[in-house]
Amino acid sequence: LKPPVRVAITGAAGQIGYSLIFRVASGEMLGPNQPVILHLIDLPFAMTALNGVAMEIQDCAFPLVQGIVATDNQTVGFKDVNYALLVGAKPRGPGMERGDLLKDNGKIFTETGKYINDHASRDIKVVVVGNPCNTNCLILANQIKDIPKENFTAMTRLDHNRAQYQLADKLGVHSSDIRKIAIFGNHSPTMVPYIDQMTAKNHKATVDQQWVTQTFIPSVQQRGAEIIKARKLSSAASAGNAAMNHITTWVNGTAEGDYTSMAIPSDGSYGVPKGLIFSFPVTVKNGKYSIVQGLPISPFYQGLLDKTIKELVDERNAVDHLLK
C-alpha cells in the first residue's frame, strides 16, 4: 500500500456527497492500493447530518480509509489536502437571477480559494462541481498565489458521459465503444458536444446532422432538467460518478487514441480568451493534461462555440470585482 493521501469533499452532507464519498472510500477513484484520509466539509447547520455520514463510513469498515475529518472549519478541512472535490455551493432559489447566483457563489469560492492557498498541499488537484462551476473555479483560482493554475479545474465530465451514452444508444453500441468526442465550453445549456471525429468500435462513425441539431445536442444540454423532472431532485449519483471519473482520468491518464473533457484554464486555443475556465478535449499523461489541438471546427460548431464563449465572458464580467 502507498502512503495515504487526503481527499477533501465539500458539500459532504448533500446528495452528491452521499453517493460520492462511499465510492471514494472504497478505492474506486484512486485505486485499490491508495489509502485515503477523508476530509468532509459542510456548513455549520449540516454538522449533525455530516456526523451521521461519518458514522456510516466507519460502519463500512473500508480497508483503505485511514481517517475521517468531518468539519465546518476550512482551515482544518483543507489542511494538507491532495485532492479536493468542491461540490458545496449555494443552489439557485426561486426567482433568483443567474447574476445573484454568481455573486453568492463568488463569495463562497473566494473564501475557499484563500483556505486552499494557505493550507492545502502544494500538489493539490481541484475539481469544482458546484454550479456555476466554470466561473466558480475562475474565482477560486484567482485567490491562489503559489500553486500552479492548471491544478484548478471544473467538471464537464457528466456532460461528456451523457453525450457518450446518447451516441452509443443511437449507434447501437456500448458507451465504452464511443471515442473521440468532447464537450467544449461552459457547463450550462450553451455547452457544445463535439462529435465530428467520433469513432465507434475504432471506426469513424457519423450520425445525420438533423438528429445532431434537433435531438442529440438538446438532449445532452437538457438532460439535467429531464432528470429533475423525473426524480424531483437533481442528478446526484451520476454527478458524483463523473467527479470521480474526472480525478481518476487526471491521475491515470486517457486511453491511447482517445480524449476526455475537462474545464481548464484556457491558453487561447480555439480562439477562447486566455484564462477563462473552458471545457476542452484533453489527453492526460503522467498527471498532466494537454488540449487536443487542430480539431476541424465547422461553421456550425464555430457558431455554437461563439455562444458559449460569450456566455463565459459575460459571467467573468459579472464577477469582475472578485477577480481584482
Catalytic residue ranges: 187
Binding segment toward ligand NAI, per CB under 6 A, in 27-35, 124-132, 144-152, 266-274 = 124-132
- Asked if 108 touches ligand NAI (CB under 6 A), the answer is yes
CB 184 within 8 A of CB 156: no
Q: For residue 304, state whether it binds ligand NAI (rule: CB under 6 A).
A: no
Using CB under 6 A as the binding rule, whether residue 121 contacts ligand NAI is answered as no
Instruction: State residue 154 phi and psi, 5-degree precision.
Output: -125, 165
Binding ligand NAI by CB under 6 A: which of 130, 185, 265, 281?
Answer: 130
Instruction: Return the SS3 of 125.
Output: strand
Contact at 8 Å (CB) between 86 and 140? yes
Closer by beta carbon to ligand NAI, 181 or else 200: 181
Residue 15 binds to ligand NAI (criterion: CB under 6 A): yes
Pick between residue 212 and residue 236 the one whose CB is nearest to ligand NAI.
236
- Residue closer to ligand NAI (CB basis): 39 or 187: 187
With a CB cutoff of 8 Å and minimum separation 6, the contacts of 294 are none
**95 exposure class (CB count in 10 Å sphere: 0-12, 13-18, 19+):** exposed
Look-up: residue for cell 456526523? 51
> With binding defined as CB under 6 A, does residue 185 bind ligand NAI?
no
Rounded to whole angstroms, the Cα distance separating 130 from 141 reads 15
Q: What's the one-letter identity of residue 116?
A: I
251 sits near ligand NAI (criterion: CB under 6 A): no
Among 137, 155, 192, 198, binds ligand NAI (CB under 6 A): 155
Q: Which residue is nearest to ligand NAI (CB)?
A: 14
Phi/psi at 57 (nearest 5 deg)?
-65, -45
Binding residues for ligand NAI (CB under 6 A) = 10-11, 13-17, 41-43, 46, 87-91, 108, 129-131, 133, 155, 158, 187, 234-236, 239
